[in-house]
């Protein structure tokens, strides 16, 4: 306990770092997944390709990706961007599937109705299909957020790891307290992010509220 | 513990910073998609991790003593009004030296002999003075070492008391005839370093049956020697767990391990007079006994913070 | 990038990397061994719990929450805790990987059993089956495809994450990644990554083959069914940490 009190400012720093390392990729991943999911939904070939590529991406061990990224994208070794890019890759791997499913689940008659009302494809996509896809996309985002937050700590092995730093630290000093604090902190962050996304998803889809109550 | 975290992940997260980070990530991914850049050590696409010109970023290797020394440097420099940030636990020399070269960090506590051999695989020097004298010429441009401390923390081949008794071992030379039956353990990089396995083969004709990758003088290595997973292992001479477990440090008559004095390795551009004086004053006070005491203090059961240990020591030698 | 690729090919071409205790076949076997062991442990823990909760319908909310909470646990943290508590050996990586694999198996089993048509279950009861017979002979066989989906994603997560075993002095393909990092030897790291990804892809294909066999024809046809259906099943699938 006294350890926690003494190190509180440092831990807060790590929490902030942790959130940024996990949050930026979530945002970047979402921005990239929407057009990719749209593409996958337009053509069968693109769908097959994108889904199998994202499946393979997800199997790359995170530590390996972190280590080789500087060689691939030309960043400096200790640049936090390396961790962010790696997590963005995993986020895309998860979200492309969600976005594709979500867009695919928009009922055909709704799309036809929008067409009949004279919506152009872009406007139809942004104002009709995308909003209707929100619940499934948010479900994917929640999974990605939890996964990102627990993955950030692997970055500690290359010196950029948010709360994961407490794992390598505690391990080298054979001291459990920091490790336990790191685990608890990481889990709390994940649950918090999950809850925030859940609430945000509901706020974004007011029309679902009635349906939820009814069914 | 007073400290800031460097790079794109520092100060409070504002929407603008997040946005720029997102853009940096997208740009980096774009680069990947277009075939990527060539050299990880020269370019700095995607937002730099370099520190501001008036800030010294102090790195450390992935073992506690290195962290503590980095903390001592940081505490002393901060007390003299120099802005510092700490980037602890970067990894092995193979990782942090490139980080020093690309400007991600500016200063790191080093050990003369193993640094020299890393830079120049054929360096013949082994004594403290010779090694230190040879260093400046071997260093990459832009990097410099300040005064060395008398404190030494050498790599050493260590065996359990039982193994020492069984083979009647006092030195690595005694070990040599038995190497082929034994498993050596240590950090992964020991397999490729000139004073690691290649050096033991060259100097003693010792080629082990196998090698177990563990950690840099950490809990894994100690555990492996204790439970016999490794018959011999690479540990550091200031490690208090050597005495605590009755391990035997084998003598090194052929000087496979060169002198390893603690020395600040720094980006020459950041080494102004205040910085030099501060770090040299630390080196002047740091002897092997003090270093071993510091290590023991750090791993004491009450688990003091590195910052507190650093502060206490600096005060005790009149540098606080 | 191109230079690194050349070196990677060179790494695979070096016969020294294919024999002995540090060679690819040995590391591959170790990796598969950890995967099989952790998956077996996860099945032993998660199958009965998921089946029981799914069958009784009690505690479902708790179980889903538990599975999500487990997913949030950082593998590296677990690994270091178990090493400090139990010492170096097989236990820490297997324990950490088992924790990783439990949520998808648990969620898959629960969702699978819940998704069995109530009419079928009622019919079974009507035929005089006892509760355990209903579970073993009706619900579980019908839930098999969804359970299998959970097992499949658990296996893939273990394969990708088993690399961390090397951080605590064990073997497996992670050895190449951890050693390559310590030696800043990119080709070695890349070789490790490629081998892990390839193993995962092969394993996934094998699982897909088996899944096709265990899926009843009806379940196969409705792959792109109603949205709610798809997402409900999907939600049990991913959610992992390629460690």
The pLDDT of residue B293 is above 60? yes
Q: Which residue in C1, C83, C168 is closest to B35 by CB distance?
A: C1
Q: Where are the domains of chain B?
A: 42-152+260-316, 155-249
d(CA C166, CA C127): 54
Check: CB of residue A103 under 8 Å from CB of residue A133.
yes
Domain A2-105+134-203 grouped into CATH 1.10.3720.10:
yes
Q: Which of B40, B91, B303 is facing A159, going by the closest CB pair?
A: B91
User: Is residue B117 helix, strand or coil?
Assistant: helix
Mutation site, C73, C76, C193, C204, interface A, largest A CB count within 10 A: C76
In this predicted structure, the answer to whether residue B11 has a pLDDT above a threshold of 50 is no
- Residue A212: predicted pLDDT: 61
Which pLDDT does position B4 carry in this prediction?
39
C156 touches chain A (CB under 8 A): yes
Per-10-residue mean pLDDT of chain C, 243 residues long, equals 81 93 95 97 97 92 88 94 93 96 95 93 93 93 92 94 93 95 91 94 91 67 39 38 46
Q: Do A21 and B9 touch (CB under 8 A)?
A: yes
* Segment (H or E) for B90: strand B83-91
What integer pLDDT is reported at residue C228 of this predicted model? 34
Burial class (CB in 10 A: 0-12, 13-18, 19+), C22: middle
User: Using one digit for the tens of pLDDT, what is the confidence trace for B161-209?
Assistant: 999 999 999 999 999 999 999 999 999 999 999 999 999 999 999 999 9
Distance in angstroms (rounded) separating the CA atoms of residues B110 and B138: 14
Task: Please tell me the predicted confidence (pLDDT) of residue C239.
Answer: 41
Summarize the confidence of residues A48-67 as an average pLDDT: 89
Find the CB nearest C183 among B192, B212, B227.
Answer: B192
Mutation pick from C2, C73, C80, C93 vs chain A, by most beta carbons of A within 10 Å, is: C80
3-state helix, strand, coil in chain C (%, to 5): 80, 0, 20
> In percent, how much of chain B has pLDDT > 90?
77
Question: What number is the average pLDDT over the span B135-154?
Answer: 96
Helix/strand/coil percentages in chain B, nearest 5 = 45, 15, 35
For residue B224, what is the nearest residue in chain C, using CA coordinates?
A: C88
Fold of B42-152+260-316: D-Maltodextrin-Binding Protein; domain 2 (3.40.190)
- Which residues make Cβ contacts (< 8 Å) with residue B309, sequence separation at least 6? B68, B71, B294, B297, B298
Distance in Å, alpha carbon of C33 to nearest chain B alpha carbon = 19
**Does position B6 have pLDDT exceeding 70, yes or no?**
no
Contact pairs from chain A to chain B, CB under 8 Å: 161
pLDDT of residue A209: 73
Query: In this predicted model, what pLDDT tens digit does every residue of B220-247 receive, in sequence order?
Result: 999 999 999 999 999 999 999 999 999 9
Once rounded to an integer, what is the mean pLDDT over residues A138-160?
A: 93
Chain C interface, mutation test: which of B185, B189, B230, most C Cβ atoms within 10 Å?
B189
Mean pLDDT, rounded, of chain B: 88
Say yes or no to pLDDT of B40 above 80: no
Give the residue ranges of DSSP H helices in A43-129: 44-57, 62-73, 80-104, 108-116, 121-124
pLDDT at position B301 over 90: no
Domain ranges for chain C: 2-239
Nearest neighbour of C182 by CB, restricted to B38, B94, B211: B94
For the stretch C163-188, pLDDT in tens is: 999 999 999 999 999 999 999 898 99
**Average pLDDT of the residues in A170-193:** 94
- C-alpha closest to that of B25 among A38, A58, A83, A147: A83
User: What kind of fold does domain C2-239 have according to CATH?
Assistant: MetI-like fold (1.10.3720)
Cα torsion angle, C31, C36, C41, C42, sign = positive
CATH of B155-249, one of 3.30.390.30, 3.40.50.300, 3.40.190.120, 3.30.420.40: 3.40.190.120
Percent of chain A whose pLDDT exceeds 90: 63
Return the SS3 of C28: helix
CB distance A92 to B50 below 8 Å: no
Nearest CA in chain C to B212: C169
Q: What is the CA C90 to chain-centroid distance, rounded?
A: 18
Confidence of residue B48 (pLDDT cuts 50, 70, 90): very low
For residue A98, list chain C residues with Cβ-Cβ distance below 8 A.
234
Range from A11-25, B65-79, B292-306, C204-218 carrying the lowest mean pLDDT: C204-218
- Domain layout of chain A by residue ranges: 2-105+134-203
pLDDT attached to residue C217: 59
């Amino acid at each position: 306990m006294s350890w926690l009190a003494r190190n509180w400012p440092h831990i807060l720093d790590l929490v902030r770092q942790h959130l940024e390392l996990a949050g930026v990729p979530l945002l970047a991943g979402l921005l990239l997944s929407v057009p990719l999911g749209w593409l996958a939904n337009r053509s069968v070939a693109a769908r097959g390709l994108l889904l199998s590529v994202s499946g393979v991406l997800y199997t790359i061990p995170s530590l390996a990706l972190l280590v080789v990224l500087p060689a691939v994208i030309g960043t400096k070794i200790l640049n936090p961007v390396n961790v962010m890019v790696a997590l963005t890759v995993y986020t895309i791997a998860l979200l492309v599937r969600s976005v594709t499913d979500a867009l695919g689940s928009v009922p055909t008659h709704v799309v036809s109705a929008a067409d009949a009302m004279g919506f152009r494809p872009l406007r139809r996509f942004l104002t009709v299909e995308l909003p209707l896809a929100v619940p499934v996309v948010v479900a994917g985002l929640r999974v990605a957020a939890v996964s990102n937050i627990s993955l950030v700590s692997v970055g500690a092995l290359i010196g950029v790891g948010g709360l994961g730093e407490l794992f390598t630290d505690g391990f080298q000093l054979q001291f459990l307290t920091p490790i336990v604090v790191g685990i608890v902190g990481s889990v709390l962050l994940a649950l918090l992010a999950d809850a925030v996304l859940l609430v945000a998803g509901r706020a974004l889809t007011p029309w679902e509220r009635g349906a939820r109550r009814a069914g | 513990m007073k400290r800031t975290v460097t790079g794109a992940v520092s100060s409070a997260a504002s929407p603008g910073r997040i946005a720029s980070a997102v853009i940096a990530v997208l740009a980096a991914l774009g680069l990947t998609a277009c075939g990527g850049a060539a050299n990880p050590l020269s370019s700095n696409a995607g937002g730099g991790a370099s520190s501001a010109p008036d800030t010294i970023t102090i790195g450390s290797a992935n073992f506690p003593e290195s962290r503590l020394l980095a903390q001592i440097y940081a505490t002393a420099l901060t007390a003299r009004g120099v802005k510092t940030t700490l980037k602890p636990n970067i990894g092995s020399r193979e990782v942090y030296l490139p980080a020093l070269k690309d400007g991600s960090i500016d200063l790191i506590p080093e050990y003369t002999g193993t640094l020299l051999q890393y830079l120049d695989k054929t360096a013949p020097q082994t004594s403290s003075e010779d090694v230190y004298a040879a260093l400046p010429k071997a260093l990459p441009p832009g990097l410099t070492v300040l005064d060395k401390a008398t404190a030494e923390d050498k790599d050493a081949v260590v065996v359990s008391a039982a193994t020492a008794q069984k083979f009647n071992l006092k030195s690595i030379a005694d070990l040599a005839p038995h190497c082929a039956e034994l498993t050596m353990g240590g950090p992964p990089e020991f397999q490729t370093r000139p004073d690691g396995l290649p050096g033991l083969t060259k100097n003693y004709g010792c080629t082990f049956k196998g090698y177990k990758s563990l950690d840099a003088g950490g809990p894994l290595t100690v555990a492996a020697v204790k439970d016999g997973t490794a018959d011999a292992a690479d540990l550091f001479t200031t490690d208090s767990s050597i005495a605590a477990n009755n391990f035997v440090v084998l003598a090194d008559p052929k000087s496979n391990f060169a002198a390893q004095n603690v020395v600040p390795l720094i980006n020459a551009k950041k080494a102004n007079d205040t910085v030099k004086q501060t770090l040299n004053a630390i080196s002047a006070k740091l002897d092997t006994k003090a270093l071993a005491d510091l290590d023991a203090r750090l791993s004491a059961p009450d688990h003091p913070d590195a910052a507190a240990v650093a502060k206490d020591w600096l005060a005790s030698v009149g540098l606080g | 990038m191109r230079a690194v690729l050349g070196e990677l090919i060179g790494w695979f071409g070096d016969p020294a990397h294919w024999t002995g205790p540090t060679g690819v076949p040995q590391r591959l076997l170790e990796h598969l061994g950890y995967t099989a062991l952790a998956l077996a442990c996860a099945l032993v823990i998660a199958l009965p719990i998921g089946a029981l909760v799914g069958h009784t319908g009690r505690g479902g909310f708790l179980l889903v929450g538990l599975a999500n909470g487990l997913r949030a646990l950082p593998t590296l943290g677990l690994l270091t805790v178990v090493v400090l508590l139990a010492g170096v050996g097989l236990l820490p990586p297997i324990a950490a990987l088992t924790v990783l694999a439990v949520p998808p198996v648990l969620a898959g089993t629960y969702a699978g059993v819940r998704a069995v048509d109530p009419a079928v279950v009622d019919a079974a009861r009507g035929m005089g089956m006892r509760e355990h017979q209903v579970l073993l002979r009706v619900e579980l066989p019908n839930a098999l495809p969804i359970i299998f989906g959970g097992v499949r994603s658990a296996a893939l997560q273990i394969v990708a994450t088993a690399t961390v075993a090397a951080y605590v002095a064990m073997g497996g393909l992670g050895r190449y990644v951890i050693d390559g990092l310590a030696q800043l030897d990119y080709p070695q790291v890349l070789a490790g990554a490629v081998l892990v990804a390839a193993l995962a892809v092969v394993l996934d294909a094998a699982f897909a083959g088996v899944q096709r066999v265990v899926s009843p024809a009806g379940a196969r046809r409705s792959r792109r069914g109603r949205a709610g259906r798809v997402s409900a099943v999907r939600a049990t699938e991913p959610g992992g940490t390629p460690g």
